[in-house]
Amino acid sequence: MTPLELLRGTKRAYIMAHQAPDGDAIGSALALGRALEKMGGQATLACEDPLPSMFAFLPGGEWFEAREPGDEDLAIALDASDLGRFGSLGEKVAQSGLPLLNIDHHVTNRFFGTVNLVQSEAAATAEIIYDLLPDLKIPLDPLLATYLLTGLVTDTQGFRTANTTVRTLEIATQLMKAGASLSEITEQVFRHWDLSTLRLWGAIIESLRLKGRMVWATETMAMRSRYGARADRGDGVVNLLASLGQADIAIVFREREDGLIEVSLRSRPEVDVSSIAQYFGGGGHPQAAGCSLEGKLEEVMTEVLAKAKERLSSPLKG
């Protein structure tokens, strides 16, 4: 069965956004859910973690809930390399026996679905959803366009990443023509910080260390508690670290409340960090990847930094 046949045949879909959801996961889920409703179906939007406050401007964000599948006839996993990225909700889907449609753009995707729609050449999962709409006979409207442009803008860091293509910009143009506001999305996503966030960023940057061609920093629970910042407010610091001219790899290690250490990796185009993330059970893109590990912060840092150093010293960095 093809992805289109699954989508056309569903009456009630269970759509999952991954843990620590970003704009691409959120925007793609909202867009696909709206499309299915326009086709006469229903959609449950599920995510184990709360949505970051920067995406509160998106209508429908309040529909996400940490609810396991019930009477749905199709599960859809969006924007993740493996089912583990959905936490306990992914486990419930695996146990449910529901057909699973895996829609993603990560080069490290493990093709874990019953049916897989994986296009690693796409700059964002939102691009893949955009391409599905004509075949589903769903015309763009301002809300759909806003959801999808949010996915494109966030995953390309404002159209600045190496996987931003001419087609990505052409799609963005069509979304703007359909009523999405690039300036509003950019303002909300990149310029809508509060004082606690800026103070947290300052503390993370203060922990910065540079050795060889690697730069890394830590985000501890104590830092977030000190400034009253939510766990997602440190998102983006790793991109700032990656702008350091003396470094080829940037890493941020984040302590999570569930005891895991979340590792975010960024690199320059000549260095592939997705292989580092994949080694530790994660995934992502060549220049932007991540994973979550069990263990104490210092132990995880030692392991990951050793692997990153090994990647930098290899004759072929890519």
What is the spatial distance between Cα 264 and Cα 225, in angstroms, rounded to a whole number?
21
What number is the average pLDDT over the span 96-121?
96
pLDDT category, 44, cuts 50, 70, 90? very high
3-190 and 195-313 in the same fold: no
What is the spatial distance between Cα 315 and Cα 312, in angstroms, rounded to a whole number?
8
pLDDT category, 315, cuts 50, 70, 90? very low
For 291, the token pair is 């994973």
Is residue 318's pLDDT more than 60?
no
Domain boundaries, the chain: 3-190, 195-313
pLDDT tens column, 290-300 = 999 999 999 99
- Evaluated on CA atoms 311, 237, 269, 29, the torsion sign reads positive
What number is the average pLDDT over the span 9-32?
97
What is the spatial distance between Cα 5 and Cα 295, in angstroms, rounded to a whole number?
43
What number is the average pLDDT over the span 140-164?
95
CATH architecture of 195-313: Roll (3.10)
What is the spatial distance between Cα 118 and Cα 106, in angstroms, rounded to a whole number?
8
19, exposed or middle or buried, with CB in 10 Å at 0-12, 13-18, 19+? buried
**Residue 247: per-residue pLDDT:** 96
Q: Percentage of the chain with pLDDT > 70? A: 99
What is the spatial distance between Cα 308 and Cα 277, in angstroms, rounded to a whole number?
10
**Residue 231: per-residue pLDDT:** 81
Are 61 and 51 in contact by the 8 Å Cβ rule? The answer is yes
Cα–Cα separations (whole angstroms), residue 143 to 162, 168, 178? 27, 19, 9
**Residue 191: per-residue pLDDT:** 84
Is residue 316's pLDDT more than 70?
no
- Given this structure, which CATH class describes domain 3-190? alpha beta
**Residue 280: per-residue pLDDT:** 95
Rounding to the nearest 10 degrees, give the CA dihedral for residues 36, 38, 39, 44. 30
Query: Token match 């300036």: residue?
Result: 183
Q: In terms of residues, how long is the chain? A: 318
Is residue 269's pLDDT more than 80?
yes
> DSSP code of 232?
G
What number is the average pLDDT over the span 3-23?
96
Cα–Cα separations (whole angstroms), residue 207 to 16, 247, 285? 34, 16, 26
Mean pLDDT score of the chain: 94
What number is the average pLDDT over the span 17-40?
97
Q: Percentage of the chain with pLDDT > 90? A: 89
